[in-house]
Amino acid sequence: MTSTTSAGARTPAPTLRPHGQTVMGILGAVALVHLLNDLTQAMLPSIYPMLKAQFGLNFTQVGLITLVFQCTASLLQPWIGLYTDRKPMPFLLPLGMCATLAGVLLMAIAASFGALLVAAALIGIGSSTFHPEASRVARLASGGRFGFAQSLFQVGGNIGSALGPLLAAGIIVGRGQGNIAWFALLVVAAIAVLVRVSGWHRDHLAGLPRKAAAAAPSPLSQGRVIGALAVLALLVFSKYIYMSSLTSYYTFYLIEKFGLSVASAQMYLFLFLAAVAAGTFMGGPIGDRIGRKRVIWMSILGAAPFTLMLPYVDLLWTAILSVVIGFVISSAFSAIVVFAQELMPGKVGMIAGIFFGLMFGVSGIGAAAMGHLADVAGIAYVYKLCSYLPLLGVLTVLLPKMQRR
C-alpha cells in the first residue's frame, strides 16, 4: 500500500487516492474511447443527406432519427449513473459498447425507415452506458484535477465528432450505405480498450474502503442546490439547442444558402467541430484556475454577439463566426458538469448521467423541432430564431459562488 503510481504504469490500482496522482494512462484511454464513440455517433448526421435521398425522407423524418438516438442516449443515463453510484459495475463499459456495435452493423444493412430508427436507438443505448461510467473513471483518475480530467475526457468526444464527418465523407458518402460497416472496426477497438479500463476500475474500487470513500455533504442547502441545478439545466438547454442547429442542419444550411456541394459543406462542419474540441479542452483547466462560474459566464453569454450575426453574413464570415462560436460556447460543458458534481458530492455518476443525458435529450428534441420548423419556414429562419438562445447565459448570475479548493 506504500508503492507509488505513475502515468500509465502498471502498479496496483489500490495505491491511487482520489486526490493523489493523476493517472494519465487511464485518462488517455477513456478520452480515446470517447473519441471513437463520438466519431461513430457523428457518422449519423453526416450521412443524413445520403439517407434523405436514398429513403426519400423529409426534414421531419431526419429529425426523428436524431430524436430516437438522442432520447435513448439520454433517458437511461441518469438511472445508470444513480444505480452504479450505489453498486459499481466496472465492466458495464464494454458491454454497453456492444449495443453500439449492433447499431452500426444494422445501419449498414437497414432497408426501411423503421430499421434506421432501431439502429439509431441501439447506438444511443451504447452511448447511455458509456458516458456516465467513463466520466466516473475520469474523475477517479484525475488526482483532484477534476476540470482538467473532465475536459480531457470531453475533448476526446469533440475530436471524434469533428473527425466523423470527414470519415463519413471519405468512406460512405458516394460509396453506398454498406460502407457504414467499416465504422464497426472502430467500435471493436473501443471495446478492447474498455476491457482494460474496466479492469483498472475494478482493481481501484477493490482498494478503496467503502466508508473512506463516503463524500462530504454539500456546502449549500437543499433548496439552493436544486435551484442551482435548475439554472445549470437551463444553460445546457440554451447551449445544446443552439449546438444542435449547427451539428444537425449546418450542412443543409450551407448547401441551401451558398450552393455548396455535400463534400464542401462537410469541410465547413469539420471546422466548426474542431473549434468545439479546442474550446472544450480549454474550459476545464481554466475553470480549475479561475473558477467554473466565470467560465460559464464567458462561454454561453459570450457567444451571443457572434450567434446573432451569423444568419446575416456571407460564406467567409459564416465560416469565421462558426469557428468562433464553436470555440467559445463549447468551453462551458466541462465546467457545468464539475460545478454540478461539487453541488452534490458522492453523486458523480448520477450527475454525469443527468447532464450528459440532458445534453443528448435537449439536442434530440431540438433537432426534431427544428426539422419540422425547417420544413415549414426554411433552414435560414431556424438559424435566425436560434441565434437568441445564448442570451440565456445571463442566468449564470443566479448560480451560487462556490469556494474553490
pLDDT single digits (tens) 245-273? 777 788 888 888 898 887 788 788 888 87
The pLDDT value given to residue 283 = 76
pLDDT confidence tier of residue 293, bands split at 50, 70 and 90: confident
Residue 32, pLDDT above cutoff 90: yes
The residues, ordered by sequence, that sit 6+ positions from 198 with a Cβ below 8 Å of its Cβ are 90, 91, 92, 93, 94
Give the model's pLDDT for residue 59: 79
- For residue 16, is it within any domain? no
More confident residue, 45 or 97: 97
Tell me whether residue 37 is in a domain. yes
pLDDT confidence tier of residue 192, bands split at 50, 70 and 90: very high
Any domain includes 11: no
% of the chain at pLDDT higher than 90? 15
Kindly state whether residue 403 falls inside one of the protein's structural domains: no
Q: Which of 78-87, 99-108, 238-247, 249-258 has the highest mean pLDDT?
A: 99-108
Phi, then psi, of 21 in degrees rounded to 5: -85, 140
Contact between 155 and 281 under an 8 Å Cβ cutoff? The reply is yes
How far apart are the C-alpha atoms of 119 and 246, rounded to whole Å?
A: 23
Return d(Cα 59, Cα 52) in angstroms, integer.
Answer: 8
Answer yes or no: is 14 within a domain: no
In a domain, 4, yes or no: no
**Are 341 and 215 spatial neighbours (Cβ–Cβ below 8 Å)?**
no
Query: How many angstroms separate the CA atoms of 396 and 393, rounded?
Result: 6
pLDDT at 305 over 80: yes
| Structural domains of the chain, count | 1
Work out the mean pLDDT of the chain and round it to a whole number: 80
Q: Residue 405 domain-assigned?
A: no
Decide: pTM greater than 0.85: no
pLDDT tier, 364 (very low <50, low <70, confident <90, very high otherwise): low
More confident call, 135 vs 37: 37
d(CA 275, CA 252): 20
User: Which residues, 6 or more positions from 190, have their beta carbon under 8 angstroms from its beta carbon?
Assistant: 33, 36, 37, 97, 100
Residue 13 vs residue 348, higher pLDDT? 348
**pLDDT score for 213:** 45
At 69, the pLDDT band (50, 70, 90 cuts) reads confident
Range with the poorest average pLDDT among 5-19, 111-125, 150-164, 385-399: 5-19
Query: DSSP letters of 179-196?
Result: GGGGHHHHHHHHHHHHHH
Say yes or no to pLDDT of 166 above 70: yes
Measured over the CA atoms of residue 214, residue 218, residue 221 and residue 227, the dihedral's sign is: negative
Domain ranges, residue 276: 22-397
C-alpha 238/C-alpha 264 separation (Å) is: 28
Q: Please state the rounded mean pLDDT for residues 170-188.
A: 84
CATH code for the domain in which residue 101 is found: 1.20.1250.20
Mean pLDDT within 72-96? 81
Task: Please compute the mean of the pLDDT values over residues 147-166 and round it to a whole number.
Answer: 80
Residue 123: pLDDT above 60?
A: yes
In a domain, 5, yes or no: no
At residue 334, the 3 state secondary structure works out as helix
